[in-house]
Chains A and B, each alone.
Chain A
Amino acid sequence: MPLFDPVIWFFVLGIAAGVARADLRLPAAIYEFVSTVLLLSIGLKGGVELARDSGGLPAVELGGILLLGFLLPLPAFAVARRIGRLSRADAASLAAHYGSVSVGTFAVVVGYLAARGIPFEGRAAVWVVLLEVPAILAGIVLARGLHGDVAWGRLLRDLFLGRSIVLLLGGLAIGRLAGPEGTASIQPLFFDLFKGILALFLLEMGLIAAAQLPTLRRHGLFITIFGVLTPLVFAVVGALLGRALGLSVGGAIVLATLAASASYIAAPAAIRTAVPEANPALSLTASLAVTFPFNIIVGIPLYERLATALAG
């Protein structure tokens, strides 16, 4: 096995080009298209797996994963408040970002496991959906209290109708309905090209992460350390939960990676409107410029060892 999956080098290229201020920019529409294809691919792949073994989602697993989403923000909030000395709003925002998940990181771990031939549960795409929203709600409650002035109706609507949830669940449903034979006709775009599309996505993510680096220099040490240690601790929690739920080793790696990942799309948008006094750059920079690179370059191979060790 080479040092890195080639797609990771595209991320490194994006960072390098961004730092050097190279004349490289993917149009916003390309980023939208690439992430749409990734989300649909992941959903479809999961749906096809479900059609094959037709195993449902056990209630214990559903409850355990939802609970994980609600609970992860609490230690993150406490650490940000006590050790980072952040304001309540900033600590709550950071907690929401780190409790929630990154679909980009999920795409990378899916590619990683596929390259190594490690199988995992087809319903893993559902875990992403289950983990995306609860932490954001918990973060808002941490900032506002239970009776705070929050337009919950509109917020929930925006969260549940967010791109990632609609496309993941949509892909999952189509994959499940069409099954392995039915999806054969769309296989070239959604399955065969997956790694190439992921490479383009990571190139753009590298450029976006590089754009956050000046902010990182300003906010400095705490969020850098927080952005590395939080995923390590949360990955252990995710892997242990995976083990307790009886998931396969691949499934435990996915759950550890999801717990370790931090949101950079759904959480920033929701927190920006619900907790406007939180500094948006702080959480986004920690999530994009520290945790995302850490997870895809160093984290995922570590989480693989962790889950394998727990299983053995």
Chain B
Amino acid sequence: MEHFPRRLLTIVTEALLERELLAEFDALGVRGYTITDARGKGGRGTRQSDWAQEGNVRIEIVCEPALAERVVARLRERYYDHYAMILYLQDVSVLRPDKF
């Protein structure tokens, strides 16, 4: 079966930002994403998920490399300074290129 290359962008950030980020994604032309509740430890200490106020989310987006770069640039410009946020990119293969 033929495979098509795409980029997987994973963002771990404050649950509080979720709604705002989704609006950004829509504006940038992201067609889909997956969100899961997350907890862990990082530069801003332990982040629990058992209280909505302090929780984290993990957002995954699979898309064209160029779009992934645009999303990354946007997040870096607007959110990196003041919010708990990490992101990383991976190369992935998809079977249905028209979906991503």
Q: Please give the residue numbers on chain A whose beta carbons come within 8 Å of chain B beta carbons, in ascending order.
A: 25-28, 31-32, 208, 211, 215, 264-265, 268-269, 272-273, 276-277, 281, 284
Contacts and interface: CB of A to CB of B under 8 A. Distances in A.
B16 A269 contact: yes
B53 A268 contact: yes
Given A272-B16, A277-B82, 9 more contacts: A26-B50, A27-B50, A28-B49, A31-B50, A31-B52, A269-B16, A273-B17, A276-B81, A281-B45
Interface residues of B, number: 15
B51 interface: yes
A26 B48 CA distance: 12
Interface string B27-47: 000000000000000000100
B16 A211 contact: no
B53 A269 contact: yes
A272 B50 contact: no
Main secondary structure of the interface of A (DSSP, over half): helix
A276 B83 contact: yes
B15 to A, nearest CB: 10
Contacts of B65: none
Contact of B52 (A26, A28, A273, A276): A28
A28 B48 CA distance: 10
B20 A273 contact: yes
8 contacts: A27-B50, A28-B50, A28-B52, A31-B52, A265-B53, A273-B17, A277-B82, A281-B45
A53 to B, nearest CB: 37
A211 B14 CA distance: 17
